[in-house]
Structure 1
Amino acid sequence: MGILAHVDAGKTSLTERLLYAAGVIDAVGRVDDGSTTTDSMELERRRGITIRSAVVSFELGDLTVNLIDTPGHSDFIAEVERALSVLDGAVLVISAVEGVQVQTRLLMRTLTRLRIPTLLFVNKIDRMGARYDELLADIARLLTPSAVPMGAVRDLGTRAAQYEEFPLVHKGLGEALAERNDSFLASYLDDTLTSADYRRELFEQVRHLQVHPVYFGSAMTGVGVPEVIDGIREWLPRATDLPGDPLQAAVFKVERGPAGEKIASARIFAGELHARQVVDVHRVAASYEAKPTSIRVFERGATTPVDAAEAGRIVALRGLKEIQIGDQIGTAVARDGHFFAPPTLETMVRPVHGADRTKLFLALQQLAEQDPLIQVRKNEEISVSLYGEVQKEVIAALLDSEYGLAVSFSETTPIHVERPIGIGSAQREMGDPGNLWAAAVGFQVSPAPVGSGLDYRLEVELGGLPRAFHTAIEETVRQTLLQGLFGWEVVDCRVELIRTGYSSPVTVAADFRRLVPLVLMQALQEAGTRVQEPVNHFELDLPSDAVSPVLGKLAEAGATVQDTTVGQGTARFAGSIPAGRVHTFETQLPGLTHGEGILLTTFDAFRPVSGVPPTHPRTDGNPLNQKQYLLHLNQA
């Protein structure tokens, strides 16, 4: 299960309470003191936020819980995405004071889309300003209309606040369950239902996301925590993984140990994984064999070495040198990917001491193993992708603490993409002028549907070329299209391989890897591309007296307001805004709205840039210029 929340709602404190209740720790750590179990990074302890997902396993009665504590700050949404891919259920934490916040809505929307059964825990009922009825109304309006309170709060907003759970058989729950099941409704009206009927129906409706039980409490004092523990045991579905099935596991986290070795965290969905067992590892367009040298399972707040781990476990694997986040071990299974949009911002990273440039690039590559969406690129400058400004601080702190590197950053800029606008083709035969390699290849490039990514197709006989050469061609196609005609990644592109040729035994895979960029970029140049900028959808709640100045700043930011609702004392806007302008507008919003403005932005789409398209520095030697490209290959 996962614990998710907007930053500062109290999910790490709730994790501490669960560990204490399970007997894993002797005292409850405090986020403010930097003494929590799952926040192990120095920056996490100093800032009081979770940056890297942490796994901890414990027992709640007869139930083994593998708990993943996820970041709450929106800049680390990629960490949350990777955790979501392995969850059976979740607890979404909401502050009784701050209420439903921007990140809360995004997380609930994603949990619903992924069909993950979820309980809601309203924390901080002992804090001044805590709300109950008003907050339940906000949850129904902003999160889900199927939230069902499981109890009430006495002395709300005081240190004496207590949570009193309703009896299972009560009118509110009965009506909520009856709304969603006609047969239950008939029995409810006949007054023939027992507590067992309520228990069975609530479990089924939670499992199918028809209702979301809501608990109230205080993670700091422990009030309400026993009730939410019972809720976890009673209502969240237990894993049904089968040890006898073929091995199926997914890697959701990669970090490095004290000696620099890779440690991969993986969820085993089916079968058994043995140490020193040769297994197949699958990723997009590639697969290979590997052998974990050691397996550790998470249990009772620590990890324990084992010879084998079976379905349902989360394991830490060593010895997999090539492993990456998202790799599947054993049998490859189609899984939904990228529940959140990829980062749309970029910054240049520069070492304070120029001689550290090579060391900096290698360090960033290692950090990218832990967060692949950083996407490190190197040309005259070294750039990384970002979700927001807080990530800069995290990257700087990690480089300083783990690698002894001091760095500075350039201003953050938006990441654009390119889309093909026509059809183009190109091919080169062995012996053609300018073809220096023992290989022949041809491509046709055309637009693909929006959102489809790269659609790579073979229009040649698969058996006409050794499989290793086909693999080299496809991998190089994917790598080449990371930089289009203007230097941006090419998306929504169909690439058809229309010609291949080789000379045995002279040809090697490297011949295709060097030739493909020249031919593919020639075909892309004939097709043409259009540069597009990232645009976010926004929802904005604000006081009605702030409407005029906010509309002015939205216009300055290039935003388009598509929907306006003005009520008594409040207003709501919805529309679109260029992603590169969001941060500036966000910093202006508190001053314009007396600190009461709430802005929710989510990536919407890429839209054509008006005017002169921006370019991005190349790192591939520019295959559009053969002399420059060959010089780049020689230098490499």
Structure 2
Amino acid sequence: MTKQIIGGLVAHVDAGKTTLTEALLYQAGQLRQLGRVDKGSSFLDPDQLEKQRGITIFTHQAALDYQKLHLTLLDTPGHIDFAAQTEQVLQVLDYAVLVISATDGLQGSTRTLWDLLAQYHVPTFIFINKTDSVGADVPAVIKQLQSSLSAACVDFTGKTPTTGATAEAIAMQDDAVLESYLANDCLTEQQVQSLIQQRKLFPCYAGSALKLTGIQELLDGLAQWTVETPSTGDQFAARVFKISHDDRGNRLSWVRVLSGQLVAKREVLPGEKADQLRVYNGSKFSIQQSIPAGGVCAITGLTSSYPGQGLGQATTAPQPRLQPVLSYAIKIDNDNPRPYLAALRELADEEPQLKVEWLSELQEARVQLMGTVQKEVLEQLLAQRYGLQVQFTNGQILYRETINRPVEGVGHFEPLRHYAEVHLRLEPAPRGSGLTFTSHCREEVLSHNWQQQVMTSLGAKEHRGVLIGAPLTDVQITLVGGKGSIVHSVGGDFREATWRAVRQGLMELRAQKGCVLLEPWYHYRLTVPQEEVGRAINDLQQMGADFKLTESGAGPLTTITGSGPVATMRDYAITVRNYSRGQGQLECVVDGYRPCHNAAEVITDHQYDPVADLPNTPDSVFCAHGAGYPVKWDQVPAMAHFPYQK
């Protein structure tokens, strides 16, 4: 019986991921001729931009049959600027192949991908590519993998995993398997498969995709050691992982069917039917009438779908961990901005994290991006796909805000014939956790229905801080009390009271200096000639970065690693190339948010007045003598109808 596996190829840019995809398809007999990325002839980089740049920008699909394995391959972007798209794909994979260069070893973005694979619990094979290159050292790379990623990275190249030293190394990864191995002096195929599936074992293969060495062994390994993911039931469930548009402008929703089956012409979203079910292989596709559990296809006919969305019985996935950290303004020197906005919104449909915003008073659009390469690709897309020329301004840092101590916020909304009061406890949450909402309010205090209105309202908008108006993050918000009126309260009243309660609490913290401005930081890897190390360290100190010399004295180049603010390091790569005469290289990967290194300066520059931000007001409305009247935020706790806890 043929097993169906969805596999994704992920890698640092230039590790040879797309070349490996070509080699796998060629070795399995799916391609008659081996394409080359550098010649623009690769099977899975059909887009014109990809041919020009020689990198994968969009996720592509191909399929191969080998022995009793039907493998659907999803080739993902390698450049860190497009890693959010890769992250969406990870949510629908059975297995991943992480490609690593035998000459470059682990890179910063490789570690980011490794963390994402762990986050989404994706069983992972590793292929060490470019073993034919000068300086390739496979044993050194495997040693680096074991020390930096996991001791469970075990070399399978030319090995028999069920017996001998390799089996012993595998057995060491699990106590129960080790006990079985000591009793039987061998491992079963099922034990190896189970360890891989549980992410307790990561098989490593090595070879050259360009020279087709090691490809047969990797295919054998995928055929032998993978296990088909069982369907979770008969009811239809699927997850969207990508939105794109074909050459005719048809909107495509790419999905993985998790259970049941997807049938053409059936309603999969309220009022929206799946018109065509396309199974792609490169740029070509076949139309199917149904897709079984475990299958991947592109659906036409859906207009409201988005990446991460659950269809049928599937839940919607959380927001991607990787978020843009730069905001670019696009000047539109045209009396009719509609074509520009339409194009940008279609691109934002494909990549929701662009978050296009139109500022009519400035006649400019703003988009959020990961970095310079994504900006350049966006410029080219607008020109080639839509015939539009645009000019980007310098990118601005996307700041966020959080808190460093707890507070109770109160919101009261009582214009005539309306009534709602909400008390929320705001508490600091772990770094990177975002906003979380919960209720510790008894139903005899506030009815279940009204509590649901509060919880819905908390998640209905992007809450903003009160320092510069940046998005709020890493805060747990708990409903602790409130009041409603059987006669006058409606759902909209609790929405108003809830939003005001969040802002009122933040204003209390602002007065106590309990609000914190956050900025994005990079994890960087800087390689410079030895004679420039002093210059580099001085620059890093000036930029507020920390640093560690990880390699020194072993050759003409020295490697420095560490973390630093995006605001100061974003253009440093150009400086490095200049003073190192092209020998130096800086690789940066976004490493989350930390307290802003120059918060006072940024706050002063923004000149944000939280009280004047009327859509996010911290003030409340009370009622007296038959009329509503406004109450300033600092007076609200004293006038609250429900007991206020300081």
> Does residue 566 of structure 2 align to residue 584 of structure 1?
no
The within-5 A match list for 1:319-358 is 319-333=301-315, 337-338=319-320, 340-351=321-332, 353-358=333-338
- Cα distance per residue 1:75-113 (max 9 Å; x no partner): 111011011111111111122233332322322233234
Q: Residues of 2 paired with 1:4 and 1:271: CA distance?
A: 28
Task: Quote the residue 2:277 is aligned against.
Answer: 295
**Distance apart, 1:230 and its partner CA:** 0.7
Q: Residues of 1 paired with 2:456 and 2:176: CA distance?
A: 58
Task: Quote the residue 1:229 is aligned against.
Answer: 219
- Greater Cα offset, 131-140 or 166-175: 166-175
**Distance apart, 1:402 and its partner CA:** 1.7
The within-5 A match list for 1:7-26 is 7-26=13-32
Task: Quote the residue 1:455 is aligned against.
Answer: 436
Considering only aligned residues, what root-mean-square deviation do their CA atoms show, in Å? 3.7
Whether the 8 Å contact between 1:485 and 1:524 is mirrored in structure 2 is no
Q: Residues of 1 paired with 2:114 and 2:501: CA distance?
A: 46
Q: TM-score, normalised by structure 1?
A: 0.81
**Distance apart, 1:254 and its partner CA:** 0.8
Q: What secondary structure is seen at the aligned counterpart in 2 of 1:30? A: coil
Cα distance change on mapping 1:375 and 1:62 into 2, 3 Å: same
Task: Indicate which of 250, 254, 264 corresponds to 2:239.
Answer: 250
Cα distance change on mapping 1:554 and 1:20 into 2, 3 Å: same
Task: Indicate which of 537, 552, 555 corresponds to 1:551.
Answer: 537
Task: Quote the residue 1:367 is aligned against.
Answer: 347
> Does residue 462 of structure 2 align to residue 486 of structure 1?
no
- Cα distance per residue 1:471-502 (max 9 Å; x no partner): 984564x14x2575623112234274945679
Task: Indicate which of 585, 608, 623 corresponds to 2:614.
Answer: 623
> Does residue 44 of structure 2 align to residue 44 of structure 1?
no
Q: Residues of 2 paired with 1:132 and 1:202: CA distance?
A: 23
**Distance apart, 1:524 and its partner CA:** 4.7
Q: Residues of 2 paired with 1:508 and 1:603: CA distance?
A: 40
Q: Residues of 2 paired with 1:33 and 1:616: CA distance?
A: 52
- Cα distance per residue 1:322-361 (max 9 Å; x no partner): 11111101124475653x431212211223x323533222
> Does residue 415 of structure 2 align to residue 430 of structure 1?
yes
Task: Quote the residue 2:517 is aligned against.
Answer: 531
AA aligned to 1:405 is: L
Whether the 8 Å contact between 2:96 and 2:124 is mirrored in structure 1 is yes
AA aligned to 1:83 is: V
**Distance apart, 1:221 and its partner CA:** 2.7
AA aligned to 1:376 is: V
Q: Residues of 2 paired with 1:334 and 1:55: CA distance?
A: 22
Task: Quote the residue 1:394 is aligned against.
Answer: 377
**Distance apart, 1:181 and its partner CA:** 4.7
The within-5 A match list for 1:81-92 is 81-92=87-98
Q: Residues of 1 paired with 2:27 and 2:52: CA distance?
A: 26
Q: What secondary structure is seen at the aligned counterpart in 1 of 2:416? A: coil
> Does residue 112 of structure 2 align to residue 131 of structure 1?
no
Task: Quote the residue 2:299 is aligned against.
Answer: 317
Q: Residues of 2 paired with 1:546 and 1:215: CA distance?
A: 37
**Distance apart, 1:131 and its partner CA:** 2.9
Q: What secondary structure is seen at the aligned counterpart in 2 of 1:390? A: helix
Whether the 8 Å contact between 2:83 and 2:322 is mirrored in structure 1 is no
Whether the 8 Å contact between 1:24 and 1:300 is mirrored in structure 2 is no
AA aligned to 1:264 is: S
Q: What secondary structure is seen at the aligned counterpart in 1 of 2:600? A: coil
Q: What secondary structure is seen at the aligned counterpart in 2 of 1:46? A: helix
- Cα distance per residue 1:253-280 (max 9 Å; x no partner): 011234434211111111222223334x
**Distance apart, 1:565 and its partner CA:** 5.6
Cα distance change on mapping 1:520 and 1:231 into 2, 3 Å: same
Q: Residues of 1 paired with 2:115 and 2:289: CA distance?
A: 40
Q: What secondary structure is seen at the aligned counterpart in 2 of 1:223? A: coil
Q: Residues of 1 paired with 2:344 and 2:437: CA distance?
A: 30
**Paired-residue identity, %:** 28
Task: Quote the residue 2:641 is aligned against.
Answer: none
AA aligned to 2:335 is: A
**Distance apart, 1:191 and its partner CA:** 7.9
Whether the 8 Å contact between 1:58 and 1:300 is mirrored in structure 2 is no
- Cα distance per residue 1:371-409 (max 9 Å; x no partner): 111122222332111111101111101111122211111
Whether the 8 Å contact between 1:485 and 1:525 is mirrored in structure 2 is no
Task: Indicate which of 183, 192, 203 corresponds to 1:202.
Answer: 192
Q: Residues of 2 paired with 1:15 and 1:417: CA distance?
A: 39
Q: What secondary structure is seen at the aligned counterpart in 2 of 1:463? A: helix
> Does residue 262 of structure 2 align to residue 273 of structure 1?
yes
- The runs of 5 or more residues in structure 2 that have no matched partner are 1-6, 618-646
Q: What secondary structure is seen at the aligned counterpart in 2 of 1:264? A: strand
Cα distance change on mapping 1:423 and 1:360 into 2, 3 Å: farther
The within-5 A match list for 1:504-515 is none
Whether the 8 Å contact between 1:295 and 1:315 is mirrored in structure 2 is yes
Task: Quote the residue 2:166 is aligned against.
Answer: 173
Q: Residues of 1 paired with 2:182 and 2:499: CA distance?
A: 70
Q: Residues of 2 paired with 1:132 and 1:471: CA distance?
A: 53
- The runs of 5 or more residues in structure 1 that have no matched partner are 152-164, 282-287, 433-437, 627-636
Task: Indicate which of 121, 126, 137 corresponds to 2:127.
Answer: 121
AA aligned to 2:241 is: F
AA aligned to 1:605 is: Y
AA aligned to 2:429 is: P
Cα distance change on mapping 1:149 and 1:448 into 2, 3 Å: closer
**Distance apart, 1:219 and its partner CA:** 1.7
Q: Residues of 1 paired with 2:295 and 2:18: CA distance?
A: 22
- Cα distance per residue 1:109-165 (max 9 Å; x no partner): 3323433222222222333333333333333344433333333xxxxxxxxxxxxx3
Q: Residues of 1 paired with 2:423 and 2:265: CA distance?
A: 42
Q: Residues of 2 paired with 1:183 and 1:90: CA distance?
A: 26
AA aligned to 1:427 is: H
Task: Indicate which of 377, 380, 393 corresponds to 2:357.
Answer: 377
> Does residue 288 of structure 2 align to residue 306 of structure 1?
yes
Q: Residues of 1 paired with 2:482 and 2:126: CA distance?
A: 54
> Does residue 15 of structure 2 align to residue 6 of structure 1?
no
